[in-house]
């Protein structure tokens, strides 16, 4: 019988502990970035950028990402967790208040998709740091005028991106109750 153990890593955000690369976050990323995507493909939304696993690209991977190459599930899992934890360490520096795990996970999802510098500079993080977590969650999907937020690539709107943002918002808000 094979015994698998997972080491749980905690980060401290605003003085409160959160689980790094939580199972709920990794499941969420699998829904939106690709579950079991072991063959590198050219991501059309990213201008043909070679992508594998749960959104791994040359910008995040410590390994080459070459279209057509096959990655093992173990390599994907290890690289995904490393990338998510690295993203969260950077997010930890800009989120100044304690947040529930679900809020942390959705900020991480946003940063995984857009990069932590954009998430850290977002109106969402500004609202959260001001203590308005509900508004911060809303701003993941909607601009103050109610139009879709973070749902464009260049000038092109994508319903799929907005669907992801709405899912992040919904789960972020649910974590507040």
Q: What pTM value is reported for the model?
A: 0.92
Where would I find the H helices in the chain?
A: 23-33, 73-92, 101-114, 116-120, 123-129, 133-138, 159-174
Count up the domains in the chain and report the number: 1
Residue 23 clears pLDDT 90, i.e. is over it = yes
pLDDT-wise least confident of 15-19, 74-78, 146-150: 15-19
Please tell me the distance from the alpha carbon of residue 50 to that of residue 78, in angstroms, as a whole number: 18
The answer to the question of residue 3 being in a domain is no
Is 22 inside a domain boundary?
yes
Q: Is residue 110 part of a domain?
A: yes
Q: What is the pLDDT of residue 15?
A: 87
Q: How far apart are CA 115 and CA 49, in angstroms?
A: 15
Residue whose structure tokens are 């907005």: 162
Cα–Cα separations (whole angstroms), residue 19 to 46, 78, 90, 152: 29, 16, 15, 30
pLDDT at 5: 53
What's the CATH code of the domain at 113?
1.10.530.40
Name the helix (H) or strand (E) containing 43: strand 41-43
Ramachandran bin of 150, using left for φ above 0, alpha for ψ from -120 to 50, beta for the remaining angles: left
Mean of all residue pLDDT scores within the chain: 94
pLDDT at 1 over 70: no
Q: What is the DSSP letter of 18?
A: E
Q: Is residue 108 part of a domain?
A: yes
pLDDT of residue 13: 93
């Amino acid at each position: 019988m094979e015994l698998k153990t997972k080491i749980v890593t905690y980060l401290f955000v605003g003085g409160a502990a959160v689980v790094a690369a939580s199972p709920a976050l990794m499941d969420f990323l699998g829904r939106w970035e690709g579950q079991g995507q072991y063959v590198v493909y050219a991501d059309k939304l990213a201008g043909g950028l070679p992508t594998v696993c749960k959104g791994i690209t040359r910008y995040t991977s410590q390994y080459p990402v070459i279209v057509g190459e096959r990655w093992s599930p173990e390599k994907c899992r290890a690289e995904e967790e490393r990338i998510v934890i690295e993203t969260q360490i950077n997010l930890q520096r800009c989120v100044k208040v304690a947040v529930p795990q679900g809020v942390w996970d959705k900020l991480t999802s946003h940063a995984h998709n857009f990069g932590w510098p954009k998430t850290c500079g977002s109106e969402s993080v500004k609202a959260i740091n001001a203590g308005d977590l509900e508004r911060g969650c809303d701003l993941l999907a909607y601009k103050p005028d109610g139009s879709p937020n973070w749902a464009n690539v260049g000038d092109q709107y994508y319903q799929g991106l907005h669907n992801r943002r709405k899912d992040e918002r919904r789960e972020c808000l649910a974590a507040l109750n």
